[in-house]
Structure formats: structure tokens, C-alpha cells
Structure 1
Amino acid sequence: MGNLKNAAIAFLAPLPSIFFHLSFLRHYRLGYSFSSPPPSDGLWGWCFHHPLLLANALFFANVDVLFWLIGVLLSNHWLIDPYWTVIPVMLIHYYASHPLAKADAARSAVAVVLTWVWSIRLTHNYFRRERWQFGAREDWRFNEMRTEYGRPWWWISFFAVYLSQQIFLIGICLPMYAIHSSDKPWNIWDVAATIGCITGIVVAYFADTQLYEFVSRNETLSKSGEPMVPNLDKGLWRYSRHPNYFGEQLWWWSLFLFAWSVGQGWMFVGPLVNTLCLAYVTVLVERRMMKKAYREDAYREYMKTTSVWIPWFKKTSEVPKAKSS
């Protein structure tokens, strides 16, 4: 019953912004034409002339405020996690459908398809990890902050969980806006962006699958009373401590190349901020890994020999040699 309730919440939660945008498009198509553009005043006129501001306003009202209220009522801010995989799809379709949108048809189509593939991959990984349950648990980082802040967490969560997500998501999705703000023809940078995006998706998929299989195997060993394997050091994880993070970063930086190809190089700030944030998360994850006594020594050795993000060959561990008698 709880899973069905949370599933209903997840499907209903984004409807206000979807209905608002559809109402705007309907109003525009019925009331205006390119020979008679909408006025600059009034709600619909503002929506017409400010697509990026409208995206932020809808995000603030529907995600920051509504999702936050749902999280406070449920005492669980799980809803933002699955929507990290959905909001970019919603944003790219919003930018593509806005009346002011203009884009090279090939660039737009490729970006839309790639965003859907990225979203399906990440959504599948999220629900596989959560055993196909809606709202079964909260992100461990939010849970730790809940414990750390105590009673004030109900209002701190608005800024820490939701408003911060708006900055990250709108920022890293800026190339989707750039793609639909220029009809500059397809070029070599678009080819590089496409190859990079596909590579990032593939790397992240295999890394997450290998991690899922490792965790599942350890859960089975734990239930049977057998010692668990202390560390994942196979497949892509042999060459990188966080190949899933590397694949995800490769996706976002490659998406930025689409913005570069239409002359919007300043949009590198989006993936840069995301990378800096992920660097901090990496530190938190590795500290958490070493809190478990059965894997602490193995993970320390793993850190000495294995690249953090970018897959690379193993380093030789500097083990002191025994002195000869």
C-alpha cells in the first residue's frame, strides 16, 4: 500500500508545471501568430519573452516548494532522487516546444534522444537499486543531515535539498536551452558531443551494473553468514574508484559541447559546478566506505593504487620491504 501511495505521489507531483506549460502553449497558439506577437505585459506575454526565467519559476514553484512540502509531510525527502533523472527530459522538451525555440533539426533531435537514453539508464539504475520501490528510503546524505541538524531540518531542507538542486539542474541543463536558441548548422563539435554523451552513458551503465552485482553478492553472503568481499576491484572498478561518477561527468561535459558548438561557451559553469559538487560527494562517499571495519584496510590500499575518477592503469603499491638479516 505504501509503495502505491508513493507511486501516485511521484506521478502527480509534476502535474502543476506540466499543465501550466500546456495552458501557455494553448493560449499562445490560439491567440497569437508570428505576424502578431504577444505583448510584453501580462502573464502569457512574460512567459513568451522569458523562457529561461519561466523554467526557473516553474522549477521553484513545483519542485522547490511543492516537493519540499511533500517531503516535510512525509518526513522523507525521497522524491527529488527519482526526479533527478526525469527533470532534464522535461526541460529539454520544454525548451524545444517553447514558441521562441529555434534549432538545427539534427542537433535538437540527437540531443532529445540522448537525453531520453540517459534518463532511462539512470532511472532503471535508481529503481533497481531501490528494489523497484517508490520512496523506500531517503538519500543517505539527507538522512545524515537530518540527524546533524535535528529540529531545524524541516526548513533547512528547503535550501539544502531543493533550492540547491535547482541551481545544479538548471545549470547543467543550460546546453539544452542553447541548443534551442540557435539554428547554427550541425558541425564537428556536435559529432564530438554525441560520441562523448554515448560513451558517458555506456561507461556509467556498466559501472553501475557491476556495483549492483557486487552489492547484491555481498548481501547474499551476509545473509548466509559468510564473510563479505571487502572491496569491488573488478571490471571498470579496477581502473577507477568511481567509474560511475566518471561516466556521469563525461555525459554532462559532452552535453556542454552542444552549447559550445552554437557559441555559448560560458555555459561551462554548469558542468563545472556539478563537478566540484561531485568532488565533495566523492570525499564523503570514501569516508563512509572506510567507516566499515571489514573493508577499511582493503579500501585504503585500493585508494593508493587506483585512480579516483578517470580510468587508468593501477599504481604499484609501495609496500615496505622486509630487511634482510
Structure 2
Amino acid sequence: MSRSNFSNAVVSFLAPLPSILFYLYFVNHLQTNSGGASLSPLWSWCFHHPLLLANVLFFFNVNVLFWIIGHIQSSNWMIDLYWTVIPVMLVYYYATHPLAQFNLWRSKVVIMLTWVWSIRLTHNYFRRENWQWGAREDWRFTDMRRQYGRHWWWISFFAVYFSQQIFLIGICLPLYVVHSVDKPLNMWDFVAASVCLCGIVIAYFADTQLHDFVTTNSKLKQLGKPMVPNLDRGLWRYSRHPNYFGEQLWWWGLVVFAWNLGHGWTFVGALINSMCLAYVTVLVERRMLKQAYRAEAYRLYQKTTSACVPWIKSSVIAVKDKDT
């Protein structure tokens, strides 16, 4: 392991400690004070406002601390890695908060699914980054860094970090609901779990197929051979972004859990995330079309293949006839 790789790994493990230690101290303090009978204003507020406390911890530990680390390293890579970790931290926070009330089996199912989702996404992150910690930041952040120049130092706080609080806290609201309502299991819990699991499986296979495609093209490029212009096999035959589709299924499956518990309003978080991902999809496709070797093939791919939801491929002949 290189020195930079090791240091980034250490930073990653140390970064969430302020929030973790603060919360553990709070819970321990609560237990030694008769369950909140004589709490100071600070601890009383933490006790009565679990959702607001999660936002405060996120603001200082992620928005501020990660932002400072990003400036020191001149790279905002760490937020991508913690997208795969923060939901796990949140689900345990909601489950262990003193005000939590929930059905034990529903909680176990949701926690287990969140772990499976996190492990899959974390594995995909490191596989994509050649098992390096912080080798590069998201290309969208790099593009914005060039675009905003000397103003990037403060714009990055909002564009990279504060926006993540809105997205992550929002889409994880069902995890809060699951641990705020004690209601017996029913058929809709099975439906929700099935949707979540289907999303995880689809995203895994789609990302694996994409990884194999990128790896093959990298080898062809090293050998000086023509690269394959487009991935249109497997799940990618039926959707231009099956990995995004699988990811969205996961989050909307969590919404079904919350809806079943009488809190359907939590769909707002998943909706905002879906709308943001739709915009990201547009950016990704524009980037594809800028690459000369694949532009023509990708335009045809756009005409014949569903943008997100897997669907039967359109006939190439029919598309050509329509164009003429």
C-alpha cells in the first residue's frame, strides 16, 4: 500500500469519529442520569430531537470537516466513499436512540438490507478505483473545479457537501420511520423487502457488467487495438442505465416500508434523489457523445434502448425508417 493510499485510509476511518464519540457519550450520559430525568438543556435537546440531531452531526462532521479535509487534499473524494457508509450509520443511530420504538423483526430486516446494499456499493467503489483509497474524485466535481476556478473553495461546500446532507438525510427518512413506529409485520413489508433486494441485485449485475466492459476496453487500449464503442449486452441491452435503475429501486423500496407505517410523505427524499439522478444521467450521456470513437454508436443506442427502466429493445430498422 502506497503512502498516500495508507494515509487516505487512516483519514477515512478517523473522519466519522467526532459524531460517533459524541453520540456514545450522549447515550452513556443518558443512562447514568435515570433515562433523562435531570438532563442539561443540551442533552435534553439531543434526547427529544433525534432527527434534528442527525442533521446537526451531519452538518459539522461531514459538511464542515469533510470540506476542510477536501481543501487540504485538493480532492473531494471522501464523500463518494461515505455515501456507502452513512446510511448504515444512520440506521444504527435511529435504532439505538433512546426514543426509538419499532417492530424488532422489521428493524432486523431493514438493517440487514442496508448492510447488503452498503457492502455491494462499497465493493463497487473500490473495484472501480482499483482498490485505492482516494485515488481520484468524482469527475463531476473535477469539472466544477475547473468551471468555478478560484470560487470553488466556497462553492464546493454547498455543491459537494451541503447538497449531500439534503439527499442523504432525505432518502434515509424511511430508516427513521421504521424505528419510530411499532406496528406488526404485514404483506407490505414483504413487498418492500423484495423491491429493495431486487434493486440491490440489479445494481450489482449492472455494475459488474460495466466494470468488465471498462476493463476490457482498457486492455484493448493498452494493446493499441480498437475499443468497443458501447456496452449493449446483459442488462445494458434493455436499459441505458440499469445500475441507476437498480439503485432507485432500493430507495423506493425503503419508501414502501415507510408508507406501510403511515408515513408516505417520505417519498419526497427518494423523489428528489431520482430527479437529481435523472440530471446526472443527462450529463453522463453528453459525456459519452463527446467521445469520438463511440458517439455514433451511442446515438443509435439512445434511439433503440430505454433510458432507465429495462424494456424491450426498439427495432433498428424501424428507427432508421422513422429518421428517413
Q: TM-score range, shorter-chain basis?
A: over 0.9
Runs of 4+, deviation exceeding 4 Å: none
Which position in structure 2 is the counterpart of 1:8? 10
Q: Is contact 1:189–1:260 with CA below 8 Å preserved after alignment?
A: no
Specify every segment of 5 or more residues in structure 1 that has no aligned partner in the other structure, as ranges.
none
Q: CA-atom RMSD, angstroms?
A: 1.2
Mapping for residues 27-46 of structure 1, pairs under 5 Å: 27-33=29-35, 37-39=37-39, 42-46=41-45
After TM superposition, the score normalised by the length of structure 1 is 0.97
Q: Which amino acid aligns with 1:108?
A: S
Which position in structure 2 is the counterpart of 1:94? 93
Q: Which amino acid aligns with 2:320?
A: V
SS at match of 1:100: coil
Q: Is contact 1:38–1:48 with CA below 8 Å preserved after alignment?
A: no
C-alpha distance after superposition, 1:210-261 (max 9, x if no partner): 0000000000000000000000010000000000000000000001111011
Which position in structure 2 is the counterpart of 1:270? 269
Which position in structure 1 is the counterpart of 2:22? 20
Say yes or no: does 1:292 pair with 2:291.
yes
Which position in structure 2 is the counterpart of 1:134? 133
SS at match of 2:22: helix
Matches of 2:151 and 2:211, distance apart in 1: 35
Matches of 1:290 and 1:101, distance apart in 2: 49
Matches of 1:131 and 1:180, distance apart in 2: 37
Specify every segment of 5 or more residues in structure 2 that has no aligned partner in the other structure, as ranges.
none
Which position in structure 1 is the counterpart of 2:307? 308
Inter-CA distance 290–50: structure 2 relative to 1 (3 Å threshold): same
Q: Which amino acid aligns with 2:5?
A: N
Deviation at 1:192, TM superposition (A): 0.6
After TM superposition, the score normalised by the length of structure 2 is 0.97
Matches of 2:85 and 2:37, distance apart in 1: 32
Deviation at 1:187, TM superposition (A): 1.3
Inter-CA distance 38–205: structure 2 relative to 1 (3 Å threshold): farther
Deviation at 1:188, TM superposition (A): 1.5
SS at match of 2:99: coil
C-alpha distance after superposition, 1:255-278 (max 9, x if no partner): 111101110011110100000000
Deviation at 1:320, TM superposition (A): 3.9
Matches of 2:84 and 2:306, distance apart in 1: 27
- What percent of counterpart residues are identical? 66
Mapping for residues 249-264 of structure 1, pairs under 5 Å: 249-264=248-263
Deviation at 1:189, TM superposition (A): 1.3
Aligned length: 319
Matches of 2:271 and 2:183, distance apart in 1: 25
Mapping for residues 222-233 of structure 1, pairs under 5 Å: 222-233=221-232
